Amino acid sequence: MRVIAVLGVADHNGWAVCVTVAASRGIPVVVDRRRIELIESGVPSQPYHHETVGMPLPDAETLVVRVRDSVMRTTVARLTELRDELQPQYSIAATTLRNPPLTYVPLTVAEAHASYSVMCRADGMMYHNAVCTAARGLGIAVELDDRGEAIVRAADRLRVGVEEVEHFLETTGERLGPPWRKEHRLAAAAALTALADRARVSLPD
């Protein structure tokens, strides 16, 4: 019987940090940590904000379609690889991400460029949407959170102090070694919260 796990994702333009947390005898453990690429090599990673600016609209739309296809294809492939590598022992029940930078993905380049705020966030939204779509396509639930609140939410869900969650994340980083930056800690904390909703877990003494 596979162990329930939760994948915490910190997505960026073109790549993401993935931290998978599972319960081992009721104790949460990081069972996988990796960086994955979300776009193929040689494809522009921020087309809305860079390459399409000043480009004739038909050419811009063609470029963005190519980029979005590459992002979706790559993201599905990388998440499938991650799931398959863990699947002999773990079943990824959910993935957690920050709340999206926009409420929608612009349908056209013209729509994205009509607002500077949207243009600056459209690339990030493209990757965020790809991760959510790929995860759901693999049968993995998607949970969104305010990433800056991840540690507080984990403490509340586990009914412990924030200091205890921070200590757990610090000792986890010491065990794993670098890299273990803020985004790793927050992704792990968000995953820990979602895991606690699905399995009986408590922090070690």
| CATH code of the domain covering residue 33 | 3.30.420.10
In a domain, 203, yes or no: no
Q: What is the pLDDT of residue 17?
A: 98
Q: What is the pLDDT of residue 107?
A: 84
Q: What is the pLDDT of residue 147?
A: 74
Q: What is the pLDDT of residue 105?
A: 85
Pick from 85, 84, 75, 191: nearest CA to 134: 75
> 78 is written with which tokens?
């990388």
Pick from 3, 37, 38: nearest CA to 21: 3
Helices (H), the chain: 57-86, 109-113, 116-137, 150-158, 162-176, 182-196
In a domain, 201, yes or no: no
Helix axes 162-176, 150-158, angle to 10 degrees: 110
Total number of domains in the chain: 1
Q: What is the pLDDT of residue 74?
A: 98
**Is residue 38 pLDDT above 80, yes or no?**
yes
Instruction: Name the residue range of residue 140's domain.
Output: 3-196
pLDDT tens digits for range 122-167:
999 999 999 999 999 999 999 999 878 999 999 999 999 999 999 9
Q: What is the pLDDT of residue 22?
A: 97
In a domain, 70, yes or no: yes
pLDDT category of residue 205 using cuts at 50, 70 and 90 = confident
pLDDT tens digits for range 87-107:
999 999 999 999 999 988 888
Interval 180-188 mean pLDDT: 96
Interval 166-183 mean pLDDT: 96
Average predicted confidence (pLDDT) for the chain = 95
Is the peptide bond prior to 179 cis by the omega test (within 30 degrees of 0)? yes
Contacts of 128 (CB under 8 A, 6+ apart): 11, 97, 98, 100, 101
pLDDT category of residue 120 using cuts at 50, 70 and 90 = very high
Q: Which residue has the higher pLDDT, 107 or 74?
A: 74
Q: How far apart are CA 133 and CA 135, in angstroms?
A: 6
In a domain, 129, yes or no: yes
In a domain, 202, yes or no: no
**Residues 6, 146 contacting (CB under 8 angstroms):** no
In a domain, 103, yes or no: yes
Interval 1-28 mean pLDDT: 95
In a domain, 96, yes or no: yes
**Is residue 173 pLDDT above 80, yes or no?**
yes
